[in-house]
Every structure is written in C-alpha cells, then in structure tokens.
Amino acid sequence: MIKDIRASLLEERLNLSDFYNPQVLINMGPSHPAMHGTLRVMCRVNGEVVEDATCEIGYLHRGIEKLAESKTYHQWIVYTDRLNYCSALTNNIAYVMAVEDLLKIEVTERCQWIRVICMELARIIDHLICIAINALDMGALTCFWYLYHWREEAYTMIEAMCGMRLTTSYARIGGMSYDLPDNFDSMMAKFLKGLPKSIDDVEKLLSANRIWVDRTKDVGVLTKAECLDFGLTGPVARASGVDFDLRRDRPYCTYPELDFEVVCGVKGDVYDRYLVRMEEIRQSAHILAQCVQKIPKGPLWVDNRLIKIPAKQDVYNDMETLIHHFKIFMEGINVPEGESYNCVESPNGELGFYIVSRGGPKSWRTRVKPPSLLLFQSFEYSMKGAKIPDAVSILGSLNIIAGELDR
C-alpha cells in the first residue's frame, strides 16, 4: 500500500513538470507563520495564481471524542476548553447544557445570566484575536498589539471569575463552579468603557485604509448559496447574507430577554467578515452592559442534591453531603439513557454537542460538531483562482481553530 502511494506521487511529479505549463506544488505546511496552528495546504500554483488546492488536517487530532467514553461527564469538561481555545467558556457551557438536557434539569436564573455573560465575553475575545491575527498576517502589526491589550483585560476578568485565564473549565453540570466576584460590576464597567473606543480606533486604522481595502475587498467571496452548501454558520455566513443567528432564532439561556441586533453583511468577502466581527464585538458589549444590570441575586446551583456540587463547609460538617460529594466525584453522576444535541452560537458558528448516553456515569458517544471543519472545507474551494497572499487573508478571516477542527 505504501509502495502504491509513493509510486503515484512520483507519477504526479513527473506529469506536472511540463516546460510550457510550469506548475509548482507549494506546501503551506503544518508549521506555518500565520499562527493558525497545524493546518496544511498543498497548492498547485501557476505563477502566483492557485489552480488547485488540497487541505490536510489531523495534525492536532488528540482523540478527545474517544476520551469522552472513558471519562465521567464532569471529567470531560476539562477537555472542552481545549476545543476552541480562543473562547473556552463557550465550549464549557455548551457541553454542560447538553448534559443538563439529558438529566432533564433546569438551572437557576442567576446561573443562566452568568452563562450569557461568559459566552458574550468569550465572543468578544475570540473576535478580537481573529481580527488581530488577520491584521497581523497582512502586516498590520499595530492592531495586534492594540487589540491584545483588551484581551488581557478580559483575561483578568475571567481569572477573577474562575481562576484561570485561558482554559477555564468554569461551567459545571447544574451550575457554575464559582459565583461572580464582588468587584465584578466595577471591573466590567471599566472594561466596557474602554473597549468600544478602542474598537473605533482600530476601525479608523483599517476600514478606510487603502491597503486594507485592496487586500480584503472582493477576496474570498462566498455567496449565500455556497454558504448553505458548505453548511457554514456564524460570522462568515452572516457576512454573505445568510441571516441566521442561533441566539435569535433558537434562543437559549436568557437571550430572549436581551436586546441585540444580528449583523449581516452583503458580499461575503474578507472585508465584510471583518466588519461583521467588529460590529458583533460592539453588540456583545451592549449585551454585557444589559446583563450586568439585569442579573438577579439568587442561588447559583440547581436544587437537586445528587447533582449539585456542595460547598466545602457542608462537606466537612454533614454526613450526607459528604457522601454526595464522594459519589459525584468518584463515581460520577448517573445520567439516564437517551441522546441530546445542544448547539450554541459560538464565535465561529454553530457549535454542537451530541451526547448518546446508555445510562451510567460515562457517556457512550460524545460528538462535537465543529464549525471550523466546515469552514476549512470551504477554504479549499475559496483558494481556487486566488493568489497566495489572498489565501492568507482568507484563512485569517475564517477563524479556523485547530483544536476544534481536529479535536
């Protein structure tokens, strides 16, 4: 079998070395300066125009789905952070919501508001890093430093909430691991005061900039029909005119009570995707301002004693609570049979968790529906006819996170 592969590769090389039609095979390999991680693209290039491209993934395949079959539901929350590591909070919450659906429990009001705060914060930092890296790939280094400052501010807030900057593991089945800190309101007020002004500054740097517009307008156009064909959702689809947002169309948590707009583009090129993301950051800031006002005081955890992780004082003082704590962590929560699919609007699109449970503390099959896989598949298609520098712009605008792509 291996001999056949090598023979066919040799044949391919010999066929391509025609003098009058020189076509060069360029491998944009897994170790790539565009800081997108482990993506590999092999292009057949004629001059500078890419005639054909094949994408290869799997360089970060860690077997997370297989691990779900040997870890309890709680233990797997840690792995969900490592999927879309730019917005880890969204993954945690989406997974935990899927398990709660299987358990048929409903979390408290306060918990739902905190989850919305987490998801919007994650959306802001993911969009910030996407725009920063996109700009960096095209040489606009200032935007990278500038936008990264706000990422650090958001990280400080997230660290105050749950103790960890990046791989948060904040959500728990039935609640959240910690309540919001006391100075959260003031931290958030400071964050929301400075962020829109910085976004405006970056827009002034980029939106009317001749170089930026030349490099991003009419580059990587995906029409509405193509988006639907590739199954794309999220800012990329919205920039092409597909008016679909799970927060508005299939609302979850407390999104029905929030007032926000869904941003749609017209053309579907890289410029539109950039504008859509910028506006979504502003909308998320608006949502966060509303959440901080509307969040009620109340219990954080669900009332079910078999699922709720008890407070440490109770564990040390009460026998029954000690036993519950022991059973939850040593054995796992007993989840009834059934299957559930829960999807949320992650910054990349529709992120779904499909859990098949045959009863017991471990799942039978957990499937992550990754938005990045479908996005990268459309990249193969977008590359054809584009030049190599355009390919770099398009890749930056698609926001491919390798952790989610390969799992």
Partner 1 sequence: MSKDGNAGFIPTRLDYAVKWAQKNSLWPFTFGTSCCGIEMMSTLSGTYDLARFGAEVVRFSPRQADMLIVAGTITTKMSPVLRQVYDQMLEPKWVIAMGACSSSGGIFDTYSVLQGIDEIMPVDIYVPGCPPIPEGLIHAIMKLQDVVQTGGKRPQMHKLTRAEATDAMSFRKGSQETLFDDSKPLKGQLT
Partner 2 sequence: MSKLTPKLQAEQDRVQALVAEIYPGNRVERDVNAETVLWVNSQKELIQAVKTLRIETGLQMDRLSDITAYENIDGRDGPKRFIMVYQLYSMRFHARVRIKLAVEENEKVPTLTSFWRAANWLEREVYDLFGIPFEDHPDLRRIQMDERFVGHPLRKEYDIKDRQPFPDSLPVRIAARAPLVSGQE
Closest to partner 2 by CB, 146 or 376: 376
Closest to partner 2 by CB, 48 or 106: 106
Number of H helices, E strands in the chain: 17, 8
Residue 327 is classified by DSSP as I
CB under 8 Å to 198, separation ≥6 — which residues?
Answer: 146, 147, 149, 150
Q: For residue 20, how many C-alpha atoms fall within 13 Å in the half-sphere facing its CB? A: 0
Closest to partner 2 by CB, 63 or 194: 63
Is 346:87 a contact under the CB 8 Å cutoff? yes
Closest to partner 1 by CB, 80 or 340: 80
Q: Which of residues 76-105 bind partner 2 (CB under 8 A)?
A: 97, 100-102, 104
Q: Which residues bind partner 1 (CB under 8 A)?
A: 1-3, 29-33, 35, 37-38, 58-64, 66-67, 78-79, 81-82, 85-86, 129, 144-145, 148-149, 151-152, 155, 165-167, 402-403
Q: Does 292 bind partner 2 (CB under 8 A)?
A: no
E-state strands within 136-229: 171-172, 175-176
Instruction: Point out which span in 169-177, 244-252, 262-270, 309-317 binds partner 2 (CB under 8 A).
Output: 244-252
Record the tokens describing residue 255, joined without a space.
């999104």
Q: How far is the CB of 17 from partner 2 (least distance, A)?
A: 11
Q: Does 256 bind partner 2 (CB under 8 A)?
A: yes
Q: Which of residues 339-378 bind partner 2 (CB under 8 A)?
A: 339-343, 350, 352, 354, 356, 358, 364-365, 367, 369, 373-374, 376-377
**403, interface contact from partner 1, partner 2, none, CB < 5-8 Å by kind:** partner 1
Say how many C-beta atoms besides its own lie within 10 A of residue 378's C-beta: 21
Is 152:118 a contact under the CB 8 Å cutoff? no
Q: Does 249 bind partner 2 (CB under 8 A)?
A: yes
How far apart are alpha carbons 313 and 321 in whole angstroms? 10
- 352, β-bridge pairs: 343, 369
Q: How far is the CB of 58 from partner 1 (least distance, A)?
A: 6
Binds partner 2 (CB under 8 A): choice among 78, 221, 228, 322: 228
Q: How many residues bind partner 2 (CB under 8 A)?
A: 71
What is the distance between the terminal CA atoms of the chain, rounded to a whole angstrom? 27
Q: How far is the CB of 339 from partner 2 (least distance, A)?
A: 5
**Nearest by Cα to 175 from 69, 323, 369, 333:** 333
